[in-house]
Amino acid sequence: MTTDISSVQSMYLTSPITASSTQQSSGQSGNISQAASVSMSGPGQLWSELQSLAKSDPSEFKAVTAKIASQLTSAESSMSGQQASFVSNLAKSFQEASQTGSMSSLEPPTSQGQNPGGGGSAQSSISAGPGDDSLFQQIQSIISNALSSASSSTTGST
C-alpha cells in the first residue's frame, strides 16, 4: 500500500476534532444541562498551534518553520528511498512557509493535485510499512519541539 504526501499531510496537518455531548436531567425541575467536550489529535493540535503562531507572531512563525525545515533536512540524511524523498518535500514546504510567512505551502493539495497557495508540496509516495509510524512520530516530535521552544522563548522574554 502506498500513501501520497497529501494523505500524510492531511493526517498530520488538519485538525480532526472529536466532539461528544452528554445530557443530564435535574429531576423535578426538568432542566437539561449539556456538557460538550472536544478533543483534538496530536497532529491536529500542532497544526492549530502553527496556525495561531502564523496569525499572532508572523516573525516567530517564520523562525519556527525554518527550524522545522532544518531539522527535517537533518533527519532526511539518515533516511533513504521514498521516506527520504517524502521528508525532503516536507522540509521544502516548511522552508517555503518560513520564507513567505504563510501556511499555504503546508496545506494539503486540492483534489486536482495542486496546492491552493501554489506551494511546494510534490506528489511523492511512500510505502506504508512498519517504519512509517516511527517516521510520522519523528516528524511530529520535530514540529512539537520547535513549537515548544518558540512558546518558551516568547514567554521567557516577557
Q: What is the DSSP string of 23-65?
A: EEE-GGG--EEEEEEEEE-HHHHHHHHHHHHHHH-HHHHHHHH
C-alpha cell, 5: 504526501
The predicted pLDDT at position 39 comes to 65
Return the domain boundaries, the chain: 44-109+122-158
- Tell me: pLDDT of 126 over 70: no
Does residue 138 carry a pLDDT above 80?
Answer: yes
pLDDT, tens digit, for every residue of 40-89?
678 889 999 999 999 999 999 999 999 999 999 999 999 989 999 999 99
More confident residue, 16 or 133: 133
Q: Which pLDDT does position 41 carry in this prediction?
A: 76
Quick one: DSSP state of residue 79? -
pLDDT of residue 155 exceeding 50, the answer is yes
Q: Is pTM, for the whole model, over 0.75?
A: no
3-state class of 18 per DSSP?
Answer: strand
